Structure 1
Amino acid sequence: MDFTEIYKQTNSLVSFSPGGHFILAAVQDRIVIRRTDSCQIARTVLLDATPSPTQAFLQKTTPETRISHAAWSSDSECFLAACAKKGFVRVYKLYDEEWDARIDAGAEGLVKAEWSPDGRYILCFSEWGLRVTIWSLVSGKATYIQFPVHPDRGYAFRADGRYFLLAERHKSKDTLGIYDAHHEYQLVRQFPLPTASLASLSLSPTGANLAIWEGILEYKLHVLTPTGTHLKTFTPEPEPGLGIRTVCWHPTGSFLLVGGWDDRIHVLDSLSWSCILTLELSSRIPSGVNVWREPANWLERTEGRGFLSYERLQSPYTLLLNRVDHTKPHPKCGIVQIEFNSIGSLLMVRYETSSSAVHIYDFPSPSTSFNPRLRSILLHDRPVRNVRWNPARKGSLAICCGAAAIYTWSDEWVGEGGVEEEVAECVGVPADKFETYDIKWASDGKGLILLDKDAFCCAFEVEDE
């Protein structure tokens, strides 16, 4: 891998453009856009932090001017930058420096701003769950939806961007509203939900089914259709003490995976919505599982330059699990992350009880015999911070652990006899005092953004000649 220089950033607001040609980074009250091929600055924007008339009247001015949200539109033509504490959003066109737009929040305030999938609307979530304001960049009009349950979750767009689903709270009852994004977000359907205190929702990739679940005190998940038909309520037996932590759909929508705080993943099928398999964390790793371990002190030995293969251990192997104190709030246990690769043939799981390990399962397609099995485990010296599947390759992922390195795993290496083999490598970041806390892939899967607390760099695959 080739690494770029280290650049400044704020609030981890760094992203590749959807086309992969530019990199956007927020630096305090500025937006800096660089070309991906050369990292040369293509555009710099300084936000005008003048408060809106409403804020000035309410005396809500604050010295905080840092950008809180920044993102590309889906066509890479525009980008937005928001300052939530100042209550405004600025929108710019990449190739037209004379054009810009400003959205001022009213007395309801602003906690989040993001693009719609078509890149023609901006969704602004207000404080205290008062409303969602959807601004059209084409007509300049606004659509208001009252009382969203959560500003950071509890809503979804259908995969094609046609419909917007929002969990709302009306007369002390959870309600789902469905809005037509192609017709100024007109209300299409609204119906009550069977939850008492909705935690979040997840729409299947096909858009045919919707999963909603209760808060942390109750392990209960409901499956509905977008028309409001209640298909199933799932609660494991015996019911765990705490609720659901993570939910993930198979890319085909054929399976729904539900993980809680008890180190178990329940696999539901789309025919009966019953649990057909339970994946559970175990300290004993059976024979036949590939066990990879990060080499001890490899960063010191290599001085952060180059790369080194993981050590391969013999299985069966005993995995060290963290001791969990259930008497304290927020126990360090349960399912932190569940994620499928792009075609759903591999499943990555992170258990907080084994915080330094990454579990990779073989997951069969719906058309083959259903027998998911643990395939590989990657062990690290530090707790894993994040894992990301390559969006363009079916068998490649990247891992970060808060060290001056990234870790890669792939099953696409072609060995002797043309057989694909697993490869696990540690790649040092050639920089002083850089710790990788998060990673983001480019859409083509050939580049990575590596994020430190207030800096970032990029890593690109070296093309074979």
Structure 2
Amino acid sequence: MNFSETLTFGGLFEFSPDSKYFAINRSSNLNIYQIKTTELVFSFPLLDIPSQILWSPNSELILAVCQKKNTLQLFSCINRDWNGRIVMSPTGISRVFWTPDSYHVGVVTDFNLRVSIWNLCDMIVYHIKNPKFEDKGLSFNSDGKFMLLAERSECKDYIGIYFTGDWSVVNHFAIDGIDIEDAFWANDTTIIIIDSCVTYQLLIYSPLGYLVARHRPYDNGLGIKSYSLSANGVFLSVGSYDQSARIFSKISWRFLTEFEHKTEGLNQNVHVYKEEEYKEGFTDEKLYSRFVVQNTPQKLPSIKVPKDKPNPPIGVGACEWSCNSAYLATRNGNFYIDNNPNVVWIWKMNDLSLSTILIETQNLKNFEWSPKSLHLVFCTGTGRMFFWGSEGASVCEVPLESKDFKVNKVKWSPDGSCIFACDKTRFMIGYPKFDILEAPNENYF
């Protein structure tokens, strides 16, 4: 893998949706670079250190949130002379989002008082009261014509459906749940409701307000911890505190199978890769790393976690689908600490079975599938990146000149051509040599 030079930044990084640029913050400046050459293209001055940067869906505009100033600053990557500013004082800023048409900016105010939606063409502003969340419970359908918003009013949960043409309400209905945690579109005809984690309850509603399905696999236990829709629109994976990932069909909304994260009694057909550190020669003090194929272990490495404390670090805390929905990668617990803090589980959907287990020497930080091929990248806070694909597992060392560079986060570009890797204050761009731009050969659906 080839790498760019190491650059410093202030902690914010975003690829443009068209994969031509990436944006970072450096002090009170917003810098735009070309992805292929890492050449600085634009540098925009800001009022303060930004708390968030967001590209518009068409990649023409970029927005910086100066939360301390209660101000949004907008810049154009097509016309350098164009810029805009939205001042939200005194309501404050809790969350900012773009609408799919790239002509509206939405702002959730402090204390979730309302959602303000600004039209960038004529600067008309629309207000929607009582959003329940600041960072979830808001999504758009496939063509962007309708917005779903989870709302809380008079101690009850509601779903509001709004037409994005004039932001008028299309439907508004109450939810038969305890205290919903999230709501989002499954497709244009169904809505997924995640109920409170104190009980396992998955609710499926139609936009008209009818309850389509309800799933409660068990009672008297903590419920849903993570969830993810497959890329091909066929499956919904739901990770729970009982250390299982349940798969539901998006066609009939029936339960299909349960992936149990057992530490003992693994199938002999499971491929197991274990990271091993070694030294080259007697004088070289640097530790290198490689994956070694293991016999199916009798028991996976795990730690005992306290179950008598709030929010215990147990259960399936991450579910990520491959780009063609042929594989599901899971993490048994929260990142940094859990039952199996250094294990990645990969399940294959053609026969609904466990395919691969990857055992690391250090705890996992994050993992992410390529958006264009069957390659999973993950990191453990060391000077390495790890890959898994249908051909096997591999280790990639960061360049030697990048001393003390610890990879704490990895992220693919939208076109899958490169990978962002960062530590606390530095980052670099990796350019994989394998052909990641071809369409995946495996597609079972």
Same fold (TM over 0.5): yes
What is the distance in 2 between the residues matched to 1:298 and 1:194?
Answer: 59
Deviation at 1:275, TM superposition (A): 2.8
Q: Give % identity.
A: 25
Question: Structure 1's 157 and 375: CA in aligned 2 closer, same or farther, altered over 3 A?
Answer: same
Query: Is the contact between residue 9 and residue 427 of structure 2 (CA under 8 Å) also seen in structure 1?
Result: yes
Q: Which residue pairs with 2:345 in the alignment?
A: 359
Q: Which residue of 2 aligns with 1:125?
A: 108
Counterpart residue type for residue 8 of structure 2: K
**Alpha-carbon displacement from aligned partner over 1:368-419 (angstroms, at most 9, x marks no partner):** xxx40000011101111111100011x11100111111101111xxxxxxxx
Deviations 1:69-121 (A, max 9, x none): 10111111110001122211000001322110000113221012121222111
Q: How far off its partner does 1:303 sit?
A: 4.2
Taking the TM superposition and a 5 Å limit, the aligned residue runs for 1:65-464 are: 65-181=48-164, 183-204=165-186, 206-237=187-218, 239-270=219-250, 273-284=253-264, 285-297=266-278, 303=286, 309-352=290-333, 353-364=339-350, 371-393=351-373, 395-411=374-390, 422-430=391-399, 431-462=402-433
Q: Which amino acid is the alignment partner of residue 166 of structure 1?
A: L
Summarize the Cα distance change of 1:270–1:115 in structure 2 as closer, same or farther, 3 Å threshold: closer
Structure 2 Cα separation of the partners of residues 16 and 298 of structure 1: 36
- Cα distance between partner residues in 2 of 1:359 and 1:138: 47
Match of 1:417 in 2: none
Structure 1: where are the runs of 5+ without partners? 50-64, 365-370, 412-421
Distance 1:46 1:432, change over 3 A: same
User: SS of the counterpart of 1:335?
Assistant: coil
How has the CA–CA distance of structure 1 residues 253 and 39 changed in structure 2, closer, same or farther, with 3 Å as cutoff? Answer: closer
Counterpart amino acid of 1:264?
Answer: S
Q: Displacement of 1:302 after TM fit?
A: 8.7
Partner SS state of residue 160, structure 2: strand
Name the count of aligned residue pairs. 425
**1:439–1:184 Cα change, 3 Å:** farther
CA contact 2:276–2:291 (8 Å) conserved in 1: yes
Decide whether aligned partners of structure 1 residues 401 and 207 sit closer, same or farther in structure 2, where only a CA change above 3 A counts: farther
- After superposition, the C-alpha distances for 1:215-252 in whole angstroms (9 at most, x for unaligned) are 22222121111221101221113x25212111222334
Q: Matched residues in 2 for 1:379 and 1:424: separation?
A: 11
Report if aligned partners of 1:71, 1:79 keep a CA contact under 8 Å in 2. Answer: yes
Gaps of 5+ in 2: 334-338, 436-445
Q: Under a length normalisation based on structure 2, what TM-score does the superposition of the two structures give?
A: 0.91
Shift of 1:196: 2.9
- Determine the C-alpha separation between the residues in 1 that align with 2:419 and 2:305: 34
Q: CA deviation at 1:329?
A: 2.0
Partners of 1:68 and 1:84 within 8 A in 2: yes
Check whether the contact 1:208–1:226 (CA below 8 A) recurs between aligned residues: yes
TM-score (norm 1): 0.87
The change in CA–CA distance for 1:271 and 1:30 in structure 2 (over 3 A counts) is: closer
Q: Residue 84 of structure 1 contacts residue 112 of structure 1 at CA under 8 Å; is this kept in 2? A: no
Distance 1:251 1:358 in 2: 20
Q: 1:73 to 1:349 in 2, by over 3 A?
A: same
Q: CA 1:146–1:387 in 2, change beyond 3 Å: closer, same or farther?
A: same
Amino acid at match of 1:350: R
**Contact 1:299/1:428 (CA < 8 Å) preserved in 2?**
no
Q: CA deviation at 1:317?
A: 4.1
Secondary structure at the counterpart of residue 10 of structure 1: coil
Q: Deviations over 1:256-293 (max 9, x none)?
A: 22211120122223465343321111112220111011
Question: SS in structure 2 opposite 1:32?
Answer: strand
Q: Which amino acid aligns with 2:25?
A: A
CA distance in 1, matches of 2:234, 2:250: 5
Separation of aligned partners in 2, 1:252 and 1:386: 23
Question: Within 1, Cα distance between the matches of 2:54 and 2:285?
Answer: 37
**What secondary structure is seen at the aligned counterpart in 2 of 1:85?**
helix
Opposite residue 163 of structure 1, the aligned amino acid is F
Counterpart CA distance in 2 for 1:302 and 1:167 is: 55
Measure the CA separation in 2 of the matches of 1:453 and 1:434.
9
Paired residue for 2:2? 2
- 333-342 or 195-204, larger mean C-alpha shift: 195-204
Native 8 Å contact 2:94 2:112 kept in 1: no
What is the identity, as a one-letter code, of the residue corresponding to 2:378? I
